[in-house]
A and B are shown apart, each in its own frame.
Chain A
């Protein structure tokens, strides 16, 4: 199974934000989408999820997807705010909102509870989702997405509001679920070290175009960080083959496309 994006172009008003993006993403792999603020990461994810009108095609298993992609693609926005007094279990159940009836099927409730258990969140099931910490809420919303059993999982900055431990927990979980369920997973990330450590490959976006893709060691180079982020940085090898990115100073020229 694979997800293919071809000639994808997205814009707001008259301004094109994502230009002619093409990519082929395999099942069971995690792709990290990196790039500076405003490079089009969120826009690209939303367009692939079918939440923004776009040109070009998104193909899943050789079938071009229509506008309604909610059945196959789960997209997690950056915002984790919840206005209502709902329990964690109800929140997870909402993942399958289109199939829920007035009387809840006990098998479905059981299934939702097992999803929580699989993520080590069973003890939170009856807590109000609004009373959870940012990290716990992020995990619950991830559980909601996984409960949908999506074939494609798109996550927008899932670690933005999390401490180090929760960052690791969330990304390890994403990685494990991607392998176990053979999903196509794309994660937009600002932290390049996390991207290098947890993704199978990186895709670097600059001014709405893909400027590099491949293994972390080939995408994360000092020249590219200078060109794309406008930053002078050291790339260092860490334990267990991980890469560390140490930003040193902003360079005067600033970021420029490609």
Chain B
């Protein structure tokens, strides 16, 4: 083995270890922010109180602390982590399959469709007899599926190229946004308030049942995406070269699109529209870990979860006693963050 080759292999090993360390580091940051989130709220708790409640369940020294942590804050935290991870993951996949740094689950109108679905059942006062709590999420889910079907239909007609998908997605976005506005226009002031509150996005709607559903969707999607990590990485060489490597590019794009629609629906169906995490988290992850999707996908999920949890903390701190809808905070915190990323430039080659 030549010296140059030995150097190359060593550099490869060092790079792999560095990536593993950064993934662990981001996981550590998420745990730290999550702990701060559990401490923060109308009743501020100490680290000891939170850890005690986590270790001893509701049978903690102070029962009130146990109830606050387990019944109120933990489901909201779990939901923040799952929604952030889902949107971060969805954004990373969208940016990869569309070859566009501006792509996010919003780009193809999936979030707008979810909002339309929710607004429809709120406006008409519809409710499922067996599980009223599932009505709005299911409607949001159904509308997202309709948006995915619309984009998929376009792709079938004209070929699933990145350009066609972006065009079809933007048309879908405008369609569902307009329909959403129409419903808001038709609604009475009381119903309008309900619709707008849903559209803001808020973790208050989180419960253990919604955590279970969204969590299951995230877990399955992450597995499916990781199986396709190498073909997704190969898309970076352009469609023609990826095809020449033996990848069915159009099929890959369409199937990944369906996974993203599922992830988006799972994320926003219960908590409402959350902006920006899906756009910013993949950029941050790419700067930290590069474009190898085996690492980029979990890193995007971790960055999304950390950003979302941090936004949840900020939302609680901003107005003590009440909670500013997190959908507003993510955008307000996300915009300056994106500016910093743009100014610093995109690091390449990590």
The answer on A and B forming one complex is yes
Task: Give residues in A with beta carbon < 8 Å to B.
Answer: 49, 51, 68, 70-71, 74-77, 79, 81-87, 89-90, 94-95, 97-98, 100, 102, 109-110, 113-114, 116-117, 122-123, 125-128, 130-131, 141, 148
B348 CB-CB contact with A under 8 Å: yes
Majority secondary structure of chain B interface residues (helix, strand, loop or mixed): helix
Asked if A122 meets B12 with Cβ closer than 8 Å, knowing A76-B244, A86-B292, the reply is: no
| Structural contact, B350 and A85, CB atoms closer than 8 A | yes
| Structural contact, A102 and B244, CB atoms closer than 8 A | no
| Structural contact, A89 and B8, CB atoms closer than 8 A | yes
Asked if A79 meets B238 with Cβ closer than 8 Å, knowing A100-B230, A102-B226, A127-B349, the reply is: yes
| Structural contact, A85 and B348, CB atoms closer than 8 A | yes
Q: Which of A94, A125, A141 is B11 in contact with, Cβ under 8 Å?
A: A125
B251 CB-CB contact with A under 8 Å: no
B-chain residues with CB within 8 Å of residue A84 when the two chains form the complex? 233, 236, 291
Q: With the chains together, A114 CA to B12 CA distance in Å?
A: 14
Q: What sequence of 0s and 1s flags, for each residue 228-246 of chain B, a beta carbon within 8 Å of any chain A beta carbon?
A: 0111011011101101111
Task: Give residues in B with beta carbon < 8 Å to A.
Answer: 2, 4-5, 7-9, 11-12, 15, 99, 226-227, 229-231, 233-234, 236-238, 240-241, 243-247, 286, 290-292, 294, 347-350
Q: Which of A68, A75, A82, A98 is B236 in contact with, Cβ under 8 Å?
A: A82
Q: Which of A83, A100, A117 is B99 in contact with, Cβ under 8 Å?
A: A83
Q: Which of A75, A86, A130 is B244 in contact with, Cβ under 8 Å?
A: A75
B-chain residues with CB within 8 Å of residue A51 when the two chains form the complex? 240, 243-244
Q: Nearest-CB distance from B227 to chain A (Å)? A: 8
Number of A-B contacts (CB under 8 A): 114
Q: Which of A85, A113, A114, A126 is B347 in contact with, Cβ under 8 Å?
A: A85
| Structural contact, B234 and A97, CB atoms closer than 8 A | yes
Interface centre among A74, A79, A113 (most CB of B within 10 A): A113
| Structural contact, A87 and B349, CB atoms closer than 8 A | yes
Q: Which of A70, A117, A125 is B12 in contact with, Cβ under 8 Å?
A: A125
Listed by A's residue number, 12 A-B pairs whose Cβ atoms lie within 8 Å are A86-B236, A87-B349, A90-B292, A97-B231, A97-B234, A100-B230, A109-B12, A116-B5, A122-B4, A127-B349, A128-B348, A130-B348
| Structural contact, A79 and B240, CB atoms closer than 8 A | yes
Q: Which of B11, B227, B246 is A98 in contact with, Cβ under 8 Å?
A: B246
A-chain residues with CB within 8 Å of residue B230 when the two chains form the complex? 94, 97, 100
| Structural contact, A114 and B11, CB atoms closer than 8 A | no
Interface centre among B4, B5, B99, B244 (most CB of A within 10 A): B244
A-chain residues with CB within 8 Å of residue B11 when the two chains form the complex? 125-126
Q: Nearest-CB distance from A174 to chain B (Å)? A: 16
| Structural contact, A79 and B241, CB atoms closer than 8 A | yes
| Structural contact, A77 and B349, CB atoms closer than 8 A | no
Which residue in chain B gives the minimum CB-CB distance to A74? B244
Which residue in chain A gives the minimum CB-CB distance to B244? A75
A-chain residues with CB within 8 Å of residue B226 when the two chains form the complex? 102
Q: With the chains together, A148 CA to B237 CA distance in Å?
A: 16
A-chain residues with CB within 8 Å of residue B231 when the two chains form the complex? 97
Q: Which of A71, A82, A100, A117 is B4 in contact with, Cβ under 8 Å?
A: A117
Asked if A83 meets B245 with Cβ closer than 8 Å, knowing A109-B12, A117-B5, A131-B349, the reply is: no
